[in-house]
Structure 1
Amino acid sequence: MRDAIIERVTADPYAKSLGIEIVKVEEGLAKVTMTIQEHMLNFHGAANGGVIFSLADVAFAIASNSYGQTAVGINVNINYMKAGMVGDILTATATEVSKNPKLGLYRMVVTNQHGEFIASADGMVYRKKELFG
């Protein structure tokens, strides 16, 4: 399953356009990274919140689909604590909090290369009957 997820995310046009790389995949866990580039900045000169959200969302998608059952996001809440800046290497780690046959809850934490806390998010998925892939 791990290889199928890595293959799918690596081929994902949006994740690819952001330069997101997969660092770790286990059942219920994923870690991904991305370097903030000039075109990802908002009018304050900091990383756009949508870019940070996207990084967390990719980790969320990988972790929630890691069992081989298709899982689709139904809600995500994110809290931003510190700005990401050009050249920062952000890492999002998604960890499973709770899982049952129909729903799963995941916590995503985004940090920079210095280990500083950038954002946290909680996401819920609905688990479909079909298999991933």
Structure 2
Amino acid sequence: MIDERVLTMYKASNKFGAFLEMELEVLEEGQAKYIIEIKEKHLATPIAAHGGVVAGLIDGTLGVAALTIAGKNNNVVSTVELQVNYLKPVKLGDVLTSVGKVISAGKRLLYVEAGVTNQDGVLVAKASGTFNAYPAEKAFKLIEK
């Protein structure tokens, strides 16, 4: 069962996701989805999104998928490694859907994969990441200080 307390703390503290205007949905334990509409603030050129926006979308998706598992033990996660393959350009007005799934979960390390599609179902990026699980109180003690 997903620990809603950890997810609630994550949602409340994730200022980056709010800045990018990403919409989160937890699909099930070990799976998460983020959706983002590419706006002018996301652009690197007059028509194309910055790769960092796509990487941020993916990192968030992978991380929340991992969090749905790590959170069961009152843990949060941090990115240890992120591999992104950009397959197609992302343009102004595109609506991207990133779906991440935990492939392997140990006590401390979780391996997660994701795909990103646009509104036409075209795969625009693939990614994988490794995440470190650690006690939630460590992350949220930093916020209190």
Same fold (TM over 0.5): yes
2:125 aligns with one of 119, 122, 130: 119
Counterpart contact for 2:84–2:126, Cα < 8 Å: yes
**Which protein is richer in helix relative to its size?**
2
Q: Does 1:95 align with 2:97?
A: no
TM-score under structure 2 normalisation?
Answer: 0.82
Equivalent in the alignment of 1:12: 14
Equivalent in the alignment of 2:76: 70
Misfit runs of 4+, over 4 Å: none
1-10 or 35-44, which moves further after superposition? 1-10
Counterpart contact for 1:59–1:93, Cα < 8 Å: yes
Number of residue pairs the alignment of both structures matches: 132
Runs (5+) with no aligned partner, structure 1: none
After TM superposition, list the pairs within 5 Å mapping 1:19-58 onto structure 2: 19-43=21-45, 45-58=47-60
- What's the C-alpha RMSD, in Å, of the aligned pairs? 1.8
Look up the equivalent residue of 1:99 and give its one-letter code. A
Larger radius of gyration: 2
Look up the equivalent residue of 1:32 and give its one-letter code. Y
Look up the equivalent residue of 1:102 and give its one-letter code. R
Cα distance in structure 1, aligned partners of 2:91 and 2:25 = 21
SS of corresponding position for 1:45 = coil
**Which protein is richer in strand relative to its size?**
1
Cα distance in structure 2, aligned partners of 1:56 and 1:76 = 9
Distance 1:51 1:83, change over 3 A: same
Distance 1:71 1:7, change over 3 A: closer
SS of corresponding position for 1:66 = helix
